[in-house]
Structures are given as C-alpha cells and as structure tokens.
Structure 1
Amino acid sequence: MEEYENMTVAELKELLRGAKLPVSGKKSELIARLIESNDSSEEVAEEVDIEDVEMHEEDDDTFDDDDEEFFDEEWDQIHTARQKPVLDDVTKANLSIRAAQMKKQPKFRRQEWYRYYRLARTGWRKPKGMQSKQRLNMKYRTPMVRVGYGKIAAVRGLHPSGFEDILVNQPSDLDGLDPERQAIRIGAGVGNRKRAHIHDRADDLGLRVLNRRKIDRKGDLK
C-alpha cells in the first residue's frame, strides 16, 4: 500500500496497463484496483506446483551480483513514463497525418532575417513593401505563410501527445476535466505556492501537467 502511495499517477497507470486493467479514475481508485489485482494474483500463485517452484529456485542461482546493482532504486528515478491519452483509431491516424505535414512544412522566416540577428529570433511578419521580393514570391526568397500550409482540421489545437491542451490558473479549474483526453498547462503568471497546489490536485485527479516544473518546497511552500 505504501509503495503505491509514493508512486505517481503515471507510474500507477503503467502498472495497470501491464495488468490489462482500466486506467481511468483518481489516484485512490487506481491504488485500490492494483491491490485487488494483487490479491487475486496471490490466490492463483498458491496453486502453483512444487516442481515449478524448484525450477524458479534453480534459475535464481544464476542471478549475479551485477544484476543486483542494475536493479537499483536510483535507476528507476532516471526516467518516469509520461501519461498517454486514450485515443481512438481515427484520432491516431489524424495525428500521424499532421506529423507528416509538419515535416514537409518549410521554415517561415522574416524578410532579411539573414542580415539582422534580431529578425532571425522573432516570429513571422508579413512583408508589405511594394518592391519586396518575398512578397512578390521570388524563388530566391523564403516562402510566405498561406492557407495551404494549414494542418488537418480534425486534430487542430491538440498537443503532440494527443491531449487537449487546457490552460489553468487555479486549482478549481481542474474540476470536471477528463484525464483520458485532457491535459493541463499552468499559466505563466501563477506563483510557486499556487502552482504546487495545482500539481498536487492534478496528481490526485490523474491529470497530466504539460509544463510541470520543479518547486523547492521550503518554508511556507511545504
């Protein structure tokens, strides 16, 4: 029970997917589901023959000390699996189409971006000069933004992972969101105190935070 409490929602959902169990619900529901599956698996394990147990003991003899060092707890903290959305086949196909379109899209650069460094760092601006070679579509200039470069409309606005990107500024904004389809992005003006509350609330509801940051919880932030 304590092991599950210390795990994140994403890690709990990975265990549920491995056991072929539903991954929807709050963190407490996920933990209860895992405990029920463990109890049922223990009942099945008691019915295993003695011969199978002896075979496993022989296999354990070949376990080296190097393997013990490999399965260290520090190794598990290197990478944490990110939460994935539950998508239908049509949405997955549309996302792959959009990814292919993104690869073919050229870089839209401002006029004379190669001459002035400040222009290369800023976003797109449409050229408006009467004699602008970029506006006149000369081949030796970069292309302009046009409607034809638009992506597939069915998944427009979705995060690359497939989640619907929801902007939140307070913990109450998380109520009513679907953790299987929606992920949250915390506003840039939110302070660390409220941001920490949003992180905790999102973990309880099983929501993924797209722009999660490390917060050093000292003093009043604990």
Structure 2
Amino acid sequence: MDRDAAKKAAGEAAATLVQDGMDLGLGTGSTAACALDAIGRRVREEDLDVRGVPTSFGAERRARAHGIPLTTLDEVSTLDLAVDGADEVNEGLQLIKGGGGAHSREKVVATQAERFVVLVDPTKQVSQLGEQMPVPVEVLPMAVAPVRQALEDLGARPELRMSTEKDGPVVTDQGLWLLDAYFPDGVTDPEALNRTLCRRPGVLDHGLFLHEATDLFVGHPEGTVDRISA
C-alpha cells in the first residue's frame, strides 16, 4: 500500500472543509502535515482568512512556512474545526494518539473544537485499541517509577520512550517524559483505563481519545476517502 498517497488523500479531503473566517486546530504528525499543506495552499490561492492553533512546535513551524496565521486559546475560546491524525482508531471512533508525543496538546485543541476530523490511512483501523500501538502516558520525570508500577499493576508493559537523536528520554514540548504502555491483550476497557490514568498523580495526560472525534476520514492510495461520522 502506498501509505503516503493515502495520507495525502485524507489531508486534501480535510482541507476542503475549511471555510473563510474559521479558527482551526492544526494537528501534528505525517497525516496532519498533509492537511496543513493543503490548507496552506488554499490560504495562498484563495486568500482565505483563517487562524490556526498548532498542537506542537512542529505544527507551528509547518503552518508558518505555509503562511497560515496563528493564534492561541487565550485569544480564541472555541475552534470551528480541528484536523489531526491517529495511531489507531476503532469502529466507535475512539483513538490512540501520541506517537509524536503531542497528545496532551492535541487533546486540549480537540476538546475545544466544534468538529474534530481524524485523518488516517487504512492501516490505522483496528477492532480493539492497543492491538498494534501502546498507550502513551506523559509523566513528570520524578513520577516515572510510581506511574510505571501503576501501569504494571494494570497488566501493561510500560517502556520509557528513548530518543533516537540523543542519549536520553524523549522530552515533550511540556518538558515531560513519555511511558509507552503496551497491553498484551489490547485495551479491553478504555473507559476504565482513562479514569485510572486521569486520577494518577504525576500523569499530565495520556493518548486515549475516547469521545473527541466527530468524523473519520480514511484515505486510500487511489485517492478516494471514506468519510465516517460519529
């Protein structure tokens, strides 16, 4: 499968939803980047008046490169549309995000959006969350050991995410570390796991997105897009 072509199809489809005057949530990752590329092209060619709230430093840089005006949630209380990718999505439009480590900011932006459109290629569709990917958990560095133990008590195999570019852990835009929680049988009760992690001291947030998505765009290499609404 030509996954790049599938991602581009989903990103191009998402860009068609943008209308003049919108405030946008701008996601992080390779599929979201395709949407930002297409949105940037429309801004230049159609002189669209839009503003974007980026979910990471990388998304901010890409948006600026395309001339997409930026704003913040201090200035905009509600977003008309947010677009982002996912590492996994099930039939109920529940997601695992955070492969790029930006899930905490992504969840804030998604929650503030009236419409949150998730962009994937077919390889990201699963019958049960956790089949292919771990659940990323963003933690205070001092809390890694107790949070790791709590995850092990839940049946997970947590691994501290290490940087491939330097000798040490991956550091998020918040200055925190990531524990990737692998569940051997998948996440059998996402709601319960969500509640447990949200109550755990030392955890900023995690990569389960259970109620945020309103739409799913599944791109295919030939350029078609399946559009699924919650």
Q: TM-score, normalised by structure 2?
A: 0.25
Q: TM-score, normalised by structure 1?
A: 0.26
Q: Which has the higher strand share?
A: 2
Q: Which has the higher helix share?
A: 1
Which has the greater radius of gyration?
1
Structure with greater contact order relative to length (CA < 8 Å, sep ≥ 6): 2
